[in-house]
Structure 1
Amino acid sequence: MIKTVLLITSLLISYFFSISHFELKINQSLVSIDSIVTIKIAAVGDLMCHSPQFNYARVNKDSFDFNPVYRFVKPLFEQADFTFGNLETVIGKKGSTYSGYPRFKSPEEYVSALAQNGFDFVCFANNHTLDQGEAGVYTTIETLNKNNLGYTGAFQSQSDRDSIRIIKLNEIRIALLAYSYGTNGSMIPKGKDYLINLIDLALIQKDILKAREIGAELVLVNYHFGNEYQRIPSEFQKAVVNKTIEFGADLITASHPHVIQPAKFFKTQNAKLDSGIVAYSLGNFISNQRNRFTDAGVILYLNLEKNLNSKQIKITSVEYLPTWVFKGRTERGNEYLILPINVDTFYQELPFLTEIYKAKIKQAKSDTDQIITYYTQNVKLYRH
């Protein structure tokens, strides 16, 4: 995985937050010698940290190691040009009293593990963003910056919020936007609406238009919405998505239900792509939720290409790789592990998986196959 590098695209006035937008440039040196360039984007759902997770990761009193969680999926992120997910926890300072549900506060090492295992970017607009108030937003963003992880959806200032995030992947400029349905009742301080993007259709339309004005060829919108544990999108989700398409979005990803919901292609309006895609919920990528459907997630791969002569961009394929979260004892001790379960022979050979675990994995894979393709068969299972 080639790490993202943050480039400031306007004069360095007041350093970071005075700019109108910024770009993350990736793979610029990999432009094909012919007229076609390609990119692969990997998207995952909720990145949670319940208290059993940080207790399993604890090395000593205030030191943690979350890296083992990703040891089986890190190579799969390295095949993508850009990887992002929904950061559904707040980061606390060293020495904090950490907590899980319902008011998340996680160690700094949670973020450093994301950076070290292939993530380039996180969406930070969700119902737990304000779990630790305004200070929690600032600490989380400081930790993301420290680890060179891009972010959107929650911000440190109004100018930060108004700075549209644009990534440049192999000559394709993509804007990333993120919004949440709410904050679990946590109050946004007066005059500081910039702390989190809520689903406000007027704001979303304005942001999409601004992204186009500053040169975004594609617009990807990530939502945190829907009814928890429901495997079919709600009418609210559908209505918001339809308006987002009308505003000109090309790609839409989402989370919050903690279970996978279907993906669907759509005919775009006022967008660059002729056909776009919405993934209504990518499920839990890592959490302590252990029930059927909540212990499963996906890595969604979006494969795109651009003709450098005609400037036309299109989706060449959409693939998904089902994942399952293991919680138990391995040869290394107690672990959480994200396991790719697209190939049966892989998990059949893991010695720590009992027959009960294997049965759950088989069920999760079958469930995922059925749910993700509910609307379309054109989303294919990813074969590694």
Structure 2
Amino acid sequence: MAACTSGSPGAQVKPGGRSFTVAAAGDVLIHPELVEQAAKDAEKTGEGQAGLDFGPLMAGVKPVISKADLAICHMETPVGTPKGPFEGYPEFLVPPQILTTLKDVGYDTCSTASNHTYDHGLKAVKRTLDAMDKVGLGHTGSARTPQEAEQINIRDVNGVKVAHLSFSWESFLNPTPETERWAFNRMSTDEIKKAEARARKKGAEVVILSVHWGLEHYNEPSLPQLELAERITKETGIDLVIGHHSHVVQPIQKLNGKWVAYSLGNQVARHSSPTGLTEEGAIGWFEFRETADGWDVDARYRTTLVDIPPEVEAGDKAPEGAVEEHRVVDVQQVLDSPGDLSDDRLARYRLAADRTRGFLHNRGAPRGDGLEQLSLGK
């Protein structure tokens, strides 16, 4: 007898059916302070490339990301050459060494359509995708040629063909010229439908959509986000929607039977004026189980926080017990094993956990839909 899943009451798991897990996280946005951190870490570890090692920065999320059958990141910016020069906001050009670290952490593929995709033109788009190919990271959302723009990123995940699509709104700072509009996918319900149709024609059994949308620094989705989410979940067969761009956590909601993560915040970033909210993020965790009628999906999450050292004047010392290095932290792991952390540090992690839970649940996901924190013991 088939058992019911906790995600959708009444959904019957198919006897002998397939299953797989997906981890998806927020924006990867390498600001100059994070490049400086990677240089400091390279001096200590003797690892990395061209004097930069992003491994210590990202190590905290490896136990979660590497556990998933399919791990999806959002690479928001183009990369430069290993020795630079590098640039921050507003026209990013970041070290390609971060891609090696993303792969090492456990990411399999990344969305690349964003308002920064075209910051340095088609040359940088090509360089970024070439670098991702070199380290073995899949990608979707931008393209080096018109022919590549028509291709679909389909991966075999536990015997299931899973397609990953990526769309974004256009950058007003660096719009693509008309002759290169194929270089990345612009947000359009019709274009999303066409891409899904191509994916299904190529055999995709599950289609996951990454969308770069909404307003920055707002923890509630905007009206256009809500309207587009309604259209996507009602008018397409897309199985999961993963959102980015706001740089803060927004709700995860089940809409028309499909999970929509409006924004998972930042996976890693160091804004010039940190707000507290911009350091907080979530890893969305989705378990797909095959049913007689398609797929039943359970949703979980794991809170993350980017630790930022305090700024001190030259010659002064940071407060005792303060953060010393930029690090992406698995908040629950720290709370479960706090060691000798100060009360102030622990209070910051508890705030991130409580606040993230509140934002994620703010459109009703706990009421019957089963959104819970992921336990690594399960």
For the superposition of Structure 1 and Structure 2, which TM-score range results when normalised by the shorter chain?
A: 0.7 to 0.9
Displacement of 1:298: 0.8
- Deviations 1:169-212 (CA, angstroms, capped at 9, x unpaired): 11222211111112242021332112111102221111112212
| Greater mean alpha carbon deviation, residues 90-99 or residues 142-151 | 90-99
- Which secondary structure state, in structure 2, belongs to the residue aligned with residue 129 of structure 1? coil
Displacement of 1:343: 4.6
Displacement of 1:303: 0.3
Contact 1:342 1:381 in 2 (8 A): no
| Residue equivalent to 2:243 | 254
Separation of aligned partners in 1, 2:153 and 2:263: 22
| Residue equivalent to 2:281 | 297
Displacement of 1:96: 2.5
- 1:177 and 2:165 correspond: yes
- Which secondary structure state, in structure 2, belongs to the residue aligned with residue 71 of structure 1? helix
| Residue equivalent to 1:82 | 70
| Residue equivalent to 1:215 | 203
Counterpart residue identity of residue 286, structure 2:
L
| Residue equivalent to 2:20 | 39
Aligned partner of 2:331 among 324, 335, 341:
341
| Residue equivalent to 1:193 | 181
- Which secondary structure state, in structure 1, belongs to the residue aligned with residue 185 of structure 2? coil
Aligned partner of 1:52 among 25, 28, 33:
33
Displacement of 1:342: 2.2
Identity over the aligned pairs, expressed in percent?
26
Separation of aligned partners in 2, 1:71 and 1:214: 36
| Greater mean alpha carbon deviation, residues 46-55 or residues 202-211 | 202-211
Displacement of 1:356: 3.0
Counterpart residue identity of residue 361, structure 1:
Y
- Deviations 1:255-285 (CA, angstroms, capped at 9, x unpaired): 1000000011122xxxxxxx31100000011
| Residue equivalent to 1:161 | 149
Contact 1:296 1:325 in 2 (8 A): yes
Counterpart residue identity of residue 341, structure 1:
V
| Residue equivalent to 2:263 | 281
Contact 1:343 1:383 in 2 (8 A): no
After the TM superposition, which segments of 4 or more aligned residues of structure 1 sit over 4 Å from their partners? none
Task: Please give the root-mean-square deviation of Cα atoms over the aligned residues, in Å.
Answer: 2.1
Contact 2:249 2:281 in 1 (8 A): yes
Separation of aligned partners in 2, 1:234 and 1:43: 21
- 1:98 and 2:90 correspond: no
| Residue equivalent to 1:73 | 61
Higher helix fraction (1 or 2): 2
Displacement of 1:318: 0.8
Separation of aligned partners in 1, 2:333 and 2:86: 36
Separation of aligned partners in 1, 2:201 and 2:285: 27
- Residues 71 and 304 (structure 1 numbering): CA distance in 2 closer, same or farther, change over 3 Å? same
Separation of aligned partners in 1, 2:83 and 2:226: 43
Contact 2:66 2:107 in 1 (8 A): no
Aligned partner of 2:301 among 291, 299, 320:
320
| Residue equivalent to 1:306 | 290
Counterpart residue identity of residue 357, structure 2:
D
Counterpart residue identity of residue 314, structure 1:
D
Counterpart residue identity of residue 35, structure 1:
G
Counterpart residue identity of residue 287, structure 1:
A
- Deviations 1:186-242 (CA, angstroms, capped at 9, x unpaired): 021332112111102221111112212222112111100101111111110011112
Contact 2:65 2:106 in 1 (8 A): yes
Counterpart residue identity of residue 161, structure 2:
R
Contact 2:25 2:74 in 1 (8 A): yes
Aligned partner of 1:107 among 95, 101, 107:
95
Contact 2:28 2:73 in 1 (8 A): yes
Contact 2:208 2:241 in 1 (8 A): yes
Displacement of 1:363: 1.1
Aligned partner of 1:263 among 248, 252, 274:
252
Separation of aligned partners in 2, 1:174 and 1:203: 19
- Which secondary structure state, in structure 2, belongs to the residue aligned with residue 63 of structure 1? coil
- Which secondary structure state, in structure 1, belongs to the residue aligned with residue 60 of structure 2? coil
Separation of aligned partners in 2, 1:37 and 1:202: 31
Separation of aligned partners in 1, 2:62 and 2:334: 19
Higher strand fraction (1 or 2): 1
Give the TM-score normalised by the residue count of structure 1.
Answer: 0.83
- 1:380 and 2:372 correspond: yes
Contact 2:230 2:255 in 1 (8 A): no
Point out where structure 1 has 5 or more consecutive residues left out of the alignment. 1-33, 268-274
Separation of aligned partners in 2, 1:379 and 1:97: 43
Point out where structure 2 has 5 or more consecutive residues left out of the alignment. 1-14, 44-48, 310-317
Displacement of 1:101: 1.4
Aligned length: 338
